[in-house]
Amino acid sequence: MSDYSAPLADMRFVLENVVDLPALSALPGYEHAEPELVYGVLEESGRFFAQEVGPLNRVGDLQHSRRNDDGTVTTPDGFRDAYRRYVEAGWGGVPFPAEYGGGGFPWIVTIAMQEMLTAANMAFSLCPLLTQGAIDMLLHYGSEEQRERFLPKMVTGEWTGTMNLTEPQAGSDLGALTTRAEQADDGTWRITGQKIFITYGEHDLAENIIHLVLARIPGSPPGTKGISCFIVPKVLVNDDGSLGERNAVHCVSIEQKMGINASPTCVMSYEGAVGYLVGEPNQGMRYMFKMMNNARLSVGVEGLAVGERAYQQAVAYAKERRQGRAPGAPPGEQSPIVEHPDVRRMLLTMRSQLEALRCLAYLNAECIDLAARHPDEDVRTRRQELADLLTPITKAWGTDLGVEITSLALQVHGGMGYIEETGVAQHYRDIRIAPIYEGTNGIQAMDLVGRKLPMRSGGVIADLLADIEGTAAELAAGDGDLAAIGKRLADAHTVLKETTDWLLANGLADPNNALAGATPYLRMCGIVVGGWLLARSARAARRLLDAGEGDADFLRQKLVTAKFYAEQILPQASGLAPAVTAGPADLLAAAF
């Protein structure tokens, strides 16, 4: 089984040529995060994740986490030591404020680090990822006393965090949750109920776990408007910061799953557990969506990350495996399968989609940073709008691609891909959850057409379409490969604009028109936006080649990849148009 190697050259190219890392480092509060320091952080963290965490990926899949009779959970061999070294290195605190022990780096740096950590070991990565989401939510909505008490050790990773939303009767419909909270005489709350699918709800990696729990207080309105958010520590924290009594929260079982087997997915029971209200009553859903939106970007990155690892393994296997004789090969010899055109098609399909997805995820993260720190209020507003628009696309298209790319990697391996010994099947099993959790991809599509397209009366998507049109026109006016890419992008832009206009007009008349076409429309958006960003990537590669700068072979491959995507992936957008505009009649007429 091949080892994972962080694609640092590809990552740096996107950071320099598709997004603008130097401009981010000039923003207030990010001045210390100069590009060369960022690249050093990425290089060292990539080495750490590949060497310290990557080898445990297979171990975790075979051993699983396991619940003990006393309710504790034991993670696979090596996980505790690797997590201890992760904490000692300070990787979890990179994006968070220095006042709580963090590094204060832009969020895009964390997204790049998440790509590498998830590729090295997706099951391991979920614990730091959820902790970072909990930190982010408390930074925005926790009281100063709560931040002082919990954040320093969460930022270091000494304590971990969870997100407790789902209940047996309340999956995607959180308005149906029944966990209740009653206020005690001392002003704290007592939480009672059961939560399911709680990732790292119990484990042996850290001495405390800070659960963020959604619950209802007496007299709250029905549905999502009556949900509050509470901090419920596994172990209560004394006023001096030391650990006190064990709280009344326990793991009653862990799930047996298709993948991410090292990650304990827990059923949690709250039995009058002490909790602390976050912010105002009945505002829990608004607070939790802050955590979930950043998590959705990170889940999209999971598709990129696991896809990248599967791609690397497929390339290595295709170079080693000999089968058949490729055209032009000497008689009597078996060729490496990488020389067969269909295998090359699969590999290039994987690579081009991964590069498009990396561009999209990093652009999404750049928008979050600019929305948070840019001194111009108009820029902050516009970038937040674009981040809001891109997030469901990154999450859904990214995770769909993760499943498709890992499936292609298995296909490259042929029959051996179906054999667990090669390890490639694990990537497919691991990533298959990503289109489901953090809001199913169908929900992401509904969010896109129902909430994001109407933003600013359609102005946000119109701005994005104008940028795509401008890039297409610029490249089409040139020559060679760039002109071919520009023409394909122009065709795809036309289709996306027409279907967008149709949804904006007909979705207002009947929401079912928009909902029926939501999923194919989101995929179309991903394909076209990805093609736009690869077109920009190709333009940058051509400029550097003409200037005699950079690695010429590396840059020429960027042009090859972008042209393949433009000619073989971008045209798929046109094929989706009829599904977008078909309307709901057939869907509603079908009997099941």
Active-site positions read 438
Closest CA to 195 of 257, 270, 123, 289: 270
Closest CA to 531 of 402, 398, 399, 356: 356
Closest CA to 202 of 251, 249, 157: 251
Phi, psi dihedrals of residue 145, rounded to the nearest 5°? -65, -40
Distance CA 10, CA 359 (A): 10
Query: Which structure tokens are listed for 272?
Result: 């009058």
Q: Which residues pair with 265 in a beta bridge?
A: 199
CA angle in degrees (0–180, nearest 5) for 140-273-243: 75
Distance CA 150, CA 147 (A): 5
Burial code (b: 16+ CB inside 10 Å, e: under 16) for 565-587 equals bbeebbeebbebbeebbebeeee
* Close Cβ partners of 549 (under 8 Å, ≥ 6 residues apart): none
Name residue 394's amino acid: T
The three-state secondary structure class of 276 is strand
252: enclosing H helix or E strand: strand 249-254
Give the number of C-alpha atoms closer than 13 A to the C-alpha of residue 316, restricted to the C-beta side.
14
Distance CA 355, CA 357 (A): 5
CA end-to-end span of the chain, whole Å? Answer: 44
Whether 474 contacts 483, CB under 8 Å:
no
